[in-house]
Amino acid sequence: MTKLTDSVAKPYRYFGGEYNTPDMTKPADVRFCMCVADSYEVGMSNLGVRILYYLFNSIDKVICERCYAPFADYEQYLKEHCLPLCSLETQTPLSEFDFVGFSMGYEMCYSNVFYMLELAGIPVCAEDRDDSYPFIVGGGPCTVNPEPMYKYFDFFFIGEGETPWKQIIEDYKLQKTQCNVKKNDFLRYVDKHYDCIYVPGLHPAVYDGDRVVKIPETRAWRNIEPDMNTVFTPQTQLVPSMEIVHDRAVAELFRGCANGCRFCQAGFIYRPVRERSPDNAFELCKNLLESTGYDELSLNSLSTSDYSGLQALLDKLYPYAEAHHVQLNLPSLRLDSFKGQMAKGNRKSSLTFAPEAGTQRLRDVINKNITEENIFDTLAEAFQQGYSSVKLYFMLGLPTETMEDVEGIYSLACRVKALYKKTRTSAKPLRLYVSTSTFIPKPFTPFQWCAFVDRDDVTAKQKYLMDSCKKSGIEFSYNDYDSSLMEAVLARGGRSVADALYLAYKDGARFDAWGEHFDFEHYRKAFEACGTDIGQIVGAKDLREVLPWDFVDIGVSKTYLENEYNKAMCGTTTPSCNKRCNGCGLAKYGYCKDSHGNTKIN
């Protein structure tokens, strides 16, 4: 038999031991394994997992460990030595935990859920798991449409988990210590007592082929944590044993987004905006840096420059960062709220902005709410600050898009080059990157009724941009159509696709989020074998049609989404929630506050 070090690249991916690991030797009545169905490098950067990991380990007699998807070399090593997939911290087989939770952050990671369960020796289908197996739980943003994976999970947690999860664990701990709790009894208990829990095995649905006829007779409500200043927040983070995707301290400034971009699922499923106070945010930043030793800090949110306390925070952070030789990063900057002083702590390497569309007409359709004046004023200020590299992100296949809109992308890029020559302070030549993704109409957006773009249409637009940018010295990139199509199927599908997903995995699908591993042929064959009509799944929907995810309530009303869809088709914009309450439905629950802290009433 081969030695681990002789057969596995970077074995420290699989054995923990990171700095700031909680106490794994304390007595425990409940053991939870937190999984990310992606590599260590990606999974270690997951902020939601990090929060729950420290939350669970803060509970008396509860231990939470981690597991990530292994690469093929470690998979082969496990099989060669007849070993199951284990946790990082204590090398405990996943099958021996009370709960195995998967963070469902990206649809293209679904195949790795099957992969990890099979490596752990845990039956993939929920109906095949008896009381000897752990609860398999799904959480994260993809659970707003849990139906494509309904038969593989015991239950799904929908929304933000800090408050309910602590109580769920306490409930289970009490029942486990007082009686020999049965799996089905606990599933019925959480289904009854927690609105944010969805137990698919207790709620059947009816389908006619790939069209849903009757959704589950339940209502799953997205949990919303109301106060970022008091919610559980780890004041430290694990320091990895190797370089990871986001290898720095990360501080969450606020949740939600007020801008209402109609293509953006996150902008709707994370509403409303809830901010930390600048003092709270500064203490968090300082504690993270001092407890980890990182010399780089990222200020994170969906739109960092929209944080109302950003300048007050930066006024305190800049002197601290300079004194402690810390590099500040401000990702997720909007073109209409970027200010030159925000770039003060950033390296003058590159700025990234997302105009999303090449013409004002289409930006109005998608409610981007930025103008060409915003774009060019912002870039002029950035060039004057010394920036010589800019990345611009756009989408192809947006609703109502024409070739004129695509030509607008190239025209805008050319004008950015001209602006640099006029305003630059750097001697370096401009490096201009234009990147396009293929628009995916996702659940709980005003575009959830729209069709996914045709292959020939998007291919022609990609070719035009590639040829045009090449002759102008602009670097151009685009994403693969098949992977975008598959993401659309997973995002919009219902229970009818579940069997095909597992069949595709059995045919070899895994690590589908990685371009070098994804092969649509696995899915094409599986869909054909199962009689799945993906054209129906990704096609346009009638506004009155029942959608697979209609039983989930994110707080934003379906009527509001429909109104936004109709406004989009007319090219009418909706202002930011920071400017007025637009009546999305959340205010009636008391979550939305005005500038004086008063609850907004529609």
At residue 249, the pLDDT reads 96
Same-domain status, 310 and 274: yes
Q: Are residues 151 and 261 in the same domain?
A: no
Alpha-carbon 338 to chain mean position: 23
Q: CA–CA separation, 99 vs 573, rounded Å?
A: 45
Q: Which residues contact 377 (CB under 8 A, 6 or more apart)?
A: none
pLDDT at 207 over 90: yes
* Lowest-pLDDT range of 73-77, 333-337, 501-505, 540-544: 333-337
Same domain membership, residue 128 and residue 66: yes
- From CA 111, how far away is CA 113, in angstroms rounded? 5
Tell me if 137 is assigned to some domain.
yes
Q: Please indicate, yes or no, if residue 413 is contained in any of the structural domains.
A: no
> Cα–Cα distances in Å, from 319 out to 206, 327, 328, 349?
60, 11, 11, 21
- 203-241 b/e with 16+ CB inside 10 Å = b? eebeeeebebeebbeeebbbbbbeebeebebbebbbbbb
- Number of domains making up the chain: 2
Does a structural domain hold residue 156?
A: yes
pLDDT at 246: 87
> Comparing C-alpha atoms, which of 65, 30, 27 is closest to residue 175?
30
What's the pLDDT score for residue 590?
A: 74
Other beta carbons within 10 angstroms of residue 131's beta carbon come to 11
Kindly report, residue by residue over 148-164, the tens digit of the pLDDT.
999 999 999 999 999 99
Q: Which one has a higher pLDDT value, 348 or 204? A: 204
Tell whether 85 and 203 lie within a shared domain.
Answer: yes
Identify whether 272 is preceded by a cis peptide bond (ω within 30 of 0): yes
% of the chain beyond a pLDDT of 90: 85
- Whether the per-residue pLDDT at 178 is higher than 90: the answer is no
Give 544's pLDDT tier (boundaries 50, 70, 90).
very high
Residue 262 within a domain: yes
**Residue 478 clears pLDDT 90, i.e. is over it:** yes
**136, 97 contact by CB (below 8 A):** no
Provide the b/e sequence for 479-493 (b: ≥16 CB within 10 Å): bebebbbbbbbbbbb
Among the three residues 346, 379, 396, which one is the final residue of a domain in this structure? 346
Residue 208 shares a structural domain with residue 244: no
97 part of a folded domain: yes
Q: For the segment 434-476, what is each residue's pLDDT rounded down to a tens digit?
A: 999 999 999 999 999 999 999 999 999 999 999 999 999 999 9
Phi, psi angles (nearest 5°) of residue 235: -95, 15
* pLDDT at position 347: 53
- Considering the domain architecture, whether residues 91 and 213 belong to the same structural domain is answered as yes
Decide which of 333 and 514 is more confident: 514
pLDDT at 344: 55
Give residue 255's domain range.
Answer: 234-346
Mean pLDDT, the chain, whole residue set: 93
**Confidence label for 380 from pLDDT (cuts 50, 70 and 90):** very high
Q: Who contacts 399 (Cβ-Cβ below 8 Å, separation ≥6)?
A: 365, 366, 439, 441, 447, 450, 568, 569
CA separation for the pair 189, 171 (Å, rounded): 10
Report pTM: 0.94
Residue 568 lies in a domain: no
pLDDT value for 555: 95
Across the range 557-563, mean pLDDT stands at 97
Residues 142 and 197 in one domain: yes
pLDDT surpasses 90 at 28 = yes
Cα separation, 354 vs 552, in Å, equals 30
Q: What angle do CA 596, 316, 330 make, to 5 degrees?
A: 85
Q: Do 240 and 217 reside in the same domain of the chain?
A: no
Among residues 221, 250, 274, the one where a domain terminates is 221
Query: What pLDDT, on the 0 to 100 scale, is given for residue 7?
Result: 84
3-state secondary structure of 282: helix
Q: Please write the tens of the pLDDT for every residue from 571-595.
A: 999 999 988 899 999 987 776 765 4
Give 11: exposed, middle or buried? Use CB within 10 Å, 0-12, 13-18, 19+. middle
Mean pLDDT, to the nearest integer, of 305-321? 93
Burial (CB < 10 A; 0-12, 13-18, 19+), residue 271, is buried
Q: How far apart are CA 346 and CA 329, in angstroms?
A: 6
Residue 444: closest CA among 565, 554, 356, 366: 554
* CATH code of the domain covering residue 40: 3.40.50.280
For residue 596, name the pLDDT band (cuts at 50, 70, 90): very low
Same domain, 42 and 69: yes
> 189, 221, 253: which is the final residue of a domain?
221
pLDDT digits (tens, 9 = 90+) for 342-356: 555 555 557 888 999
Is residue 34 located within the same domain as residue 183? yes
From the list 352, 334, 440, 344, the residue with the least C-alpha distance to 384 is 344
Whether residues 190 and 271 share a domain: the answer is: no
CA pair distance 494, 411, nearest whole angstrom: 40
Q: Do 53 and 160 belong together in one domain?
A: yes
Distances (CA, A) of 97 to 30, 64, 320, 481, 572: 8, 9, 43, 39, 52
pLDDT in the model for residue 601 = 41
Q: What was the pLDDT predicted at 338? A: 59
Q: How far apart are CA 354 and CA 337, in angstroms?
A: 13
Amino acid identity, position 94: L
Give the pLDDT of residue 588.
Answer: 74
